[in-house]
Structure formats: C-alpha cells, structure tokens
Amino acid sequence: MSNRPEKWRNDLVNYLPPSQPSVYRHFWDARRVPFHARSEGDFDRGRCWWLAEVSRTAYLDPPHARNDYIQGFGQHGYAVSVSHEPRERTERGAFWYCIEADDFAIVVFRGSEVPSRVDHTPQELMNAFKDWVVTDANLFFVDWEYAGAQVHCGFYKAYRELVPLEGRRPGGELLGRVVELARRGLPIWVTGHSLGGAMASLLASELANMRLPSLARPIVVEGVYTFGAPYVGDRQFVESLNDVPAYRVVNDLDLAARVPRRSAPLPWLGERYAHYGELVLYDRNGRMLRGSEARRRERDNLLALGAGAVTSFLLPSKDIPKLSMIRAVPKPMLDHAPILYSIHAWENL
C-alpha cells in the first residue's frame, strides 16, 4: 500500500514532530486498516501502523491530539474516549494519553519535545533543552524496583513523575486508570516514539511485575510497540519484560535507537545496556526486515555508525530529493523522524 505524501519532502520542518496536518494528516485512510485488539502471539503490521500513528499524534497539544484520536479511530467505527496527563508539562517532559474503546485500550507516551517552528518561544527552547539534556543525557544507571534491574536514570525520573511511588507502591492518575482498565478486562497496548518508547517499556515492566492488593492477579499487557526507542536498562530489565510481547521498531540508521550503549559518558566505563523485545527494522528503502535478516542488517548498521562512515551518515535514502537542503542533516538523525515510521509502516501493510 502506498501513502507517500509529496509536499513534506522538501521541508525539514515536516520531519519534526508534530507533522503539519496540511501535508500529512494523522490516521489518513484509517478505515482501510482494522485495529486488532487481541494479540495472536505475533507482530501485526496493521497494528504497527496504528500505533505508529498514535505515537506520532502524541506530539500534538492535548486538544488537537484528542480530536485526531477520536476522528482517526472513528473512521473504523471505534468510539474512543481520550484522557491525558493533567499537567501541561512535567519537569522532565514526560506526557501520556490513554485511549479507551469498548474492547481495547492504548497508553501512549509522547517523545522529547522539538522546536519545530521558526517562531518558537524561549520557553519552548528551554523545554526542548530539558528533554534532551536533563532527561535523555542522564544515562547513569539507577535501581529499578523489580527483578534486581537497573535502568537509565533520566528515563526513570521522567517516568516517576507520571507514576510516582506512594510509599513502596506505584500510584498516580495514569496507574489508577490502567488498573481500572484491567478490572474491566480490556487488552492494554503500550506504545511511544523515542523518549515515549522508553516510558512505554518502563510501564510495561512495572505492570508485569508489580503486585497490588486490589487485584487478584498481575495486569496483563497485551503488547508493546516502540518506535525509535533508546536503550532503557540492563539485562535484568530485559528479563523483567520476558512475558510481555514487545516489538522494537527501528528505521534504518536511527541513532536514537542505538544509544546509550553504556551507563557512563566514556565507552570503556559503566555497565552495558541491553535491548528488549523483537527487532523490526526498516532498511534504507523502507522495506521491513524481521528475524535473522533484521539482526544481520542491524550488525551492519552498528558497524557503520561505529566507524562514522561518510556514506552511512550523509548519503540520503530514497526519501530525500537530490536538491533538498535536508541532505545537510546526518541520516542517523533524519531517520528518527516519527513521520517516517508512519510512512514505512503503511507501505509495509
């Protein structure tokens, strides 16, 4: 299926979230793709596209995001309600939406804020600085409450702004809502792009491992789909997600999905991070790779990124026109654009 808009290619602004609605509408032609609420034990391409769009839409401000979620799912006859983080902005930039239908629920976390307009305000620049430096770059390990694991300090602190510890138990509005959804027996999907993907994996791990007196059994997460998500924790953290179907979608050379490698600024210091879930990789031409083919390509990509190969960083993919100024942007940065995850997911349906 082809859903490749033409206008956005010549303007770098259209790579930055949120996408301009006049160029690429959220949930374009969603009526053609059903959302399968129940997992059948494997990756689902249609669900991948839905959750890529859900993650991309999370970059909008709440009124516009809510409207797009309602209209998008409404194209397929799903009547949904949308709730979100009550604060306009948390200290470290984390933000969530919860989309509820009669037979499923989706929790999505927003990624790092990016000043995507020429007329951005000083406050918007400061918010972006906090997201990238205070949260993303705080890569030292901190103890996770489960499985003896350790996780990224910046991501942990951002997550705990949304799901705070009340005594020794997690609490807050988001967790309360998820517990209520679990009581209703709804399948719960968790997703996010970039920082949002890191938040999604932390929530999935917590739900799979916590024990609440008010619930007879642990909350079952139907699945996790993350897009361009960074490393989050160590091998024990990965093991804490063993019972959760998790799919880590990565676009070609997306640099954000390959960092941080160790829990210290210098590569020979600190402990190693580990990735969770199944790798789903889009190659240079947007073709979806899975299994051994994806792992082989990933090894090649890591070698290219590690060597700083000029061809890997500067030669554009088929997404970039020959005379575009976008060619000046390193490809590992450009590949992180959430709009590319949506387009490639659609083209692989």
Please determine, for residue 301, whether its predicted confidence score (pLDDT) is greater than 60: yes
The answer to whether position 307 is within a domain reads yes
Q: What is the pLDDT of residue 145?
A: 96
Q: What is the pLDDT of residue 166?
A: 87
The answer to whether position 248 is within a domain reads yes
The answer to whether position 136 is within a domain reads yes
CATH of the domain at 238: 3.40.50.1820
Q: Are 203 and 189 in contact (CB under 8 A)?
A: no
Higher pLDDT, 271 or 235: 235
pLDDT, one tens digit per residue, over 30-53 is 999 999 999 887 899 999 999 999
Residues of the domain holding 264: 7-347
Rounded percentage of the chain residues whose pLDDT exceeds 90: 56
Domain count, the chain: 1
Q: What is the pLDDT of residue 39?
A: 87
pLDDT, one tens digit per residue, over 142-168 is 999 999 999 999 999 999 999 999 888
Residues forming beta bridges with residue 152, ordered by sequence position: 141
Q: How far is CA 102 from CA 37, 80, 116, 125, 190, in A?
A: 10, 8, 35, 39, 17
Q: What is the pLDDT of residue 136?
A: 67
Q: What's the whole-model pTM score?
A: 0.89
pLDDT, one tens digit per residue, over 175-197 is 999 999 999 999 999 999 999 99
The answer to whether position 104 is within a domain reads yes
pLDDT band at 130, cuts 50/70/90? low
**Which amino acid does the sequence have at 71?**
Q
The answer to whether position 1 is within a domain reads no
Mean pLDDT of 269-275: 83
As a whole number of angstroms, the distance between CA 242 and CA 50 comes to 24
Q: Please give the mean pLDDT across all residues of the chain.
A: 83
Residues 6+ apart with CB under 8 A from 187: 37, 38, 39, 103, 104, 105, 220, 222
The answer to whether position 2 is within a domain reads no
pLDDT, one tens digit per residue, over 303-345 is 877 655 444 444 555 555 544 545 556 788 889 999 999 999 9
The answer to whether position 82 is within a domain reads yes
With both helix axes pointing from N to C terminus, report the angle between 45-57 and 338-347 in degrees, rounded to the nearest 10. Answer: 160
Please determine, for residue 2, whether its predicted confidence score (pLDDT) is greater than 70: no
